[in-house]
Amino acid sequence: MDIPSPRPGDALLVVDVQNDFLPGGRLAVPSGDQVIGPLNVAIAQFLAQGLPVFATRDWHPPEHCSFKANGGLLPPHCVAGTRGAAFPATLALPPDVVIVSKGTLPGNDAYSGFEGTRLGDMLREARVTRLLVGGLATDFCVLNTVTDALQEGFGVVLLTGAMRGMNLQAGDDEAAIDTMIEHGALPCSLPPLAKARLPRAQPRYR
Ligand code: VGL
Ligand code: ZN
C-alpha cells in the first residue's frame, strides 16, 4: 500500500470536522479531535502544492427533522451559525477553502456531502478527479460521502488516520472502511501524507 502524494487533479475533502462532533459537542464522535492534527498536515501539503481543499459541514436549521424535538432521533447539533456548527479554531483550513453546507433544509437530512449540494459540480469545475478524504464520522458522513464520490466517478483515497467513527456498535468504523474499499476506495493506513515532510526524492521531468 502506497502513500499517495497529492498531484494535480487531487482535492482534499474534510468531512464535518465541527465542534458539535468533537468531544464536548452535542453529538460527539469518540476521539474525534484526533483527526485535526493529521488533517492539518494534509491541508498544509495541499496548500503548498496549490491544490484545492473542500470542507463539508452539517448546517441545520433549528427545526431540523433529525432533532428529537422535531420527531427525529438525534440531539440538536450543528445548528447553522452556532458555535457547535463552527469548525474548531485548531483546524487550519486555508483562506480559500471551499465550504459545502448540507442538511440546510428543515425536511431533508444529508449524510453525504453530495446530497442536495453543488459539491460534485464544483469538483468537476475545478477539474478534480481524485479526493483524499478524512473527517467525521467514518461510519456516517464519511461513509456516505465516499460512496457517493465513487458513484460520481471520483477516485477516493481514505486517510484512515484522519477519520474517527461514532461506533454506536463496536467496529462500525472498520466495517465502514471495508465497505468504502469494496466500493473502490483505496486506504492509506500509514500516517497520512508523511512524505510531506520529506524533500522530493527525484526531479520530475515532463
Ligand atoms: C453526522 C449524524 C448526524 C455526521 C451528521 O457528520 O457523521 N452524523 N449528522
Ligand atoms: Zn446532522
What pLDDT, on the 0 to 100 scale, is given for residue 32? 98
Calpha distance 183→167 (Å, rounded): 21
pLDDT digits (tens, 9 = 90+) for 126-179: 999 999 999 999 999 999 999 999 999 999 999 999 999 999 999 999 999 999
The pLDDT of residue 193: 46
- Please tell me which residue in 10, 78, 139, 141 is annotated as part of the active site: 141
Rounded to the nearest angstrom, the distance between the alpha carbon of 140 and the centre of ligand 2 is 10
- CB of 36 closer than 6 angstroms to any ligand 1 atom: no
Tell me the C-alpha distance between 34 and 196, whole Å.
19
| Cell, residue 182 | 469494496
C-beta of 67 in contact with ligand 1 (< 6 A): no
CA 113–ligand 1 middle distance (angstroms):
11
CA distances from 196 to 46, 144, 186 (A): 9, 28, 19
Residues written for the chain: 206
Q: Is 185 in the pocket of ligand 1 (CB under 6 A)?
A: no
136 lines ligand 1 (CB under 6 A): yes
Kindly identify the ligand whose nearest atom is closest to the C-alpha of 61.
2
Asked if residue 106 lies in contact with residue 61, where contact means CB atoms within 8 angstroms, the answer is yes
**Rg (Cα) of the chain, in Å, rounded?**
16
The Å distance, Cα 195 to ligand 1 centre, comes to 31
pLDDT at residue 5, rounded to an integer? 80
Catalytic residue, candidates 10, 33, 78, 102? 102
Strand partners, 139: none
Dihedral (Cα; 183, 110, 116, 54), 10-degree rounding:
-70
The percent of residues above 70 in pLDDT, for the chain, comes to 89
- Annotated active-site residue 188? The verdict is no
Tell me the per-residue pLDDT of 176-191, one tens digit each, with 9 for 90 and over.
Answer: 999 999 999 999 965 5
pLDDT in tens, 57-68: 999 999 999 999
Q: Is the pLDDT of residue 192 over 70?
A: no
* Residue 204 scores a pLDDT above 70: no
- d(Cα 24, Cα 168) in Å, to the nearest integer? 17
Nearest atom in ligand 1 to the alpha carbon of residue 58 is 5
Computed over every residue of the chain, the mean pLDDT equals 92
Give residue 189's pLDDT. 64
User: From CA 172, how far away is CA 139, in angstroms rounded?
Assistant: 6
Neighbours of ion ligand 2 (CB under 5 A): 58
